[in-house]
Amino acid sequence: MNSVFKETWNYDKFKKAFYQKTGLNLDCYKDRQMERRIRQLMQRKKKPDFQQFFRYLADSSPAMEHFLNYLTINTSEFFRDEKVYDRLKEDIFPELLQNFPGTLTIWSAGCSVGAEPYTVALIFDTLGSLSRVRITATDMDDKVLETARKGQYDLKYLQKTPRKYIQRYFDKEGENYFLKEKIKKKVIFKSHNLLVDPPVSGCHLILCRNVFIYFKQETQEFILKRFSEVLKPEGILVIGSSEYISNPDEFKLYRRYNTIYQKA
Ligand SMILES: C[S@@+](CC[C@H](N)C(=O)[O-])C[C@H]1O[C@@H](n2cnc3c(N)ncnc32)[C@H](O)[C@@H]1O
């Protein structure tokens, strides 16, 4: 007699199928957090189990695209964490300019809509040193990179931006703020997956903020190791304000200020 055995997928099975389909390894992310997030979306899409949810994604490219955007959580804004940017402007950037003659190579890794690398460019411009920097900004989400390249923002991205910067560097049209060309052309945006693609080499400054908070410890360490390899001695790594490196010396880093690290 043929018994029809209906297999239900657990999260592990979903992760495997998803990896085969997209090449994105969900194992790199914190399991509980990610599974909860995916289940929330499944509920909204009325997909009762992982197998049905997977079919739904596999059969529709808009659904898959939406899911990938949903996963990458790309909240960002200009001058996010004012204290950090104050510290960079007052101490760290002048020091980098002084310690390293010539062009500074800067990498904003996981740059989302571009607010972070553009904030860095704005600060260097106010220091009169925009011509001294080369800024590469990368993200694995092509949608946010599209927005970043446009340099067009609404006010929600500028809540923390001092008024003098808005007046000096943006043109307002209706509800939109357009970043001036001089700043826009200073940042090169590239599609890049931190877990797969080779890092930007010869960096004097790396910002990787609010990105690896979602990754498991091993994945964070893998990324930190790569950063350390491409960071020049005395180069600077800036992480997000709710992130922490528990063993910086393993990566030849030491803590300068809260979330600002320097390579030995
Ligand atoms: C919360 S945003 C942070 C944006 C910006 N760094 C900030 O702090 O305002 C996280 C970004 O990391 C990107 N990201 C996540 N995983 C990534 C990966 N493996 N490789 C490259 N970018 C990744 C996401 O697409 C998202 O845009």
Contacts of residue 57, defined as CB under 8 A and 6 or more positions apart, other chains included, come to 18, 21, 63, 64, 67
**Domain 82-263, CATH:** 3.40.50.150
Q: What is the pLDDT of residue 260?
A: 98
Contacts of residue 165, defined as CB under 8 A and 6 or more positions apart, other chains included, come to 78, 79, 122, 126
* pLDDT over 70 (residue 143): yes
Nearest to 132 by CA among 107, 99, 102: 102
* pLDDT over 70 (residue 244): yes
Quote the pTM value. Answer: 0.87
Domain residue spans of the chain:
11-72, 82-263
Using the atom order of ligand 1, give the atom closest to the CA of residue 80: 9
DSSP 153-221: EEGGGGTTS-HHHHHHHEEEETTEEEEPHHHHTTEEEEE--TTTSPPPSSEEEEEE-SSGGGB-HHHHH
For residue 26, the one-letter residue type is L
What average pLDDT does this structure show over 100-109? 97
Higher pLDDT pick, 6 / 163: 163
Q: Best of 139, 200, 222 to mutate for ligand 1, by most ligand atoms within 8 A of CB? A: 139
What average pLDDT does this structure show over 224-237? 98
CA distances from 34 to 16, 199, 214, 220, 225 (A): 14, 25, 8, 16, 24
Closest residue (by CA) to atom 9 of ligand 1?
A: 76
Percent of the chain with pLDDT over 90: 80
Q: What is the pLDDT of residue 2?
A: 46
* pLDDT over 60 (residue 5): no
CA of 57 to the centre of ligand 1 (A): 22
Question: Tens digit of pLDDT for each residue in 15-27?
Answer: 999 989 887 888 8
Q: What is the pLDDT of residue 114?
A: 98
